[in-house]
Homo-oligomer: A and B are copies of this chain.
């Protein structure tokens, strides 16, 4: 998506060989117009698959999930919560997502009532790197007896294995921009597909 690519190249900062700092428009400060444009792009891509729920994880996935849901006809959004050691209700679906960034395990949880069996679920997130969050969300979609229609992300880190693993598993993955490499602070993006 050209507008996101331009934002990454013009405003983003590469740090070392691994970090893409885009918190000036994507995950701390939000460029509101860009959030809507990204949501519309994902909605246009997945509309034919008729998702009826958009699923994400708190916190920075919420904005793009909401705008995608809006352009899909105001379908509801569900966001998984990062549980600490708190209440484990029998009505909760849970999955573990390891964070390589923070070196810890997040237990994600969703109230089962909000993923009714048989729903068609689109998973949306701001970043795809190792794919731990996506895998946890997909596991919860399956536990709920729902159908996964695909995964839409804003920025995929193409040099980490998350995207490859999803594609090999046959998941319909749409990444609005793919970072191919970061070298000495220079961000290189993959060509548009």
Residues of chain A touching chain B, judged by Cβ–Cβ distance below 8 Å, are: 23-24, 28-33, 35-36, 58-60, 62-63, 66-67, 69-70, 74-79, 81, 110-111, 113-114
Contacts and interface: CB of A to CB of B under 8 A. Distances in A.
Query: In the complex this chain forms, how many copies of it are found?
Result: 2
Contacts of A30: 62, 66, 69, 76-79
Contacts of A58: 58-60
A67 to B, nearest CB: 8
A80 to B, nearest CB: 9
A1 to B, nearest CB: 17
A74 B25 CA distance: 13
Contact of A62 (B59, B78, B111): B59
A74 B114 contact: no
Contacts of A62: 30, 59, 62-63, 66
Contacts of A24: 113-114
A30 B35 CA distance: 17
22 contacts: A24-B114, A28-B110, A28-B111, A28-B114, A29-B76, A29-B114, A30-B62, A30-B77, A31-B76, A32-B66, A35-B66, A36-B70, A36-B74, A58-B58, A58-B60, A59-B59, A59-B79, A59-B81, A62-B66, A63-B66, A66-B66, A66-B67
A165 to B, nearest CB: 26
A35 B63 CA distance: 11
A70 B29 CA distance: 14
A113 B78 CA distance: 31
A77 B32 contact: yes
Contacts of A114: 24, 28-29
A32 B65 CA distance: 10
A30 B111 CA distance: 13
A60 B33 CA distance: 20
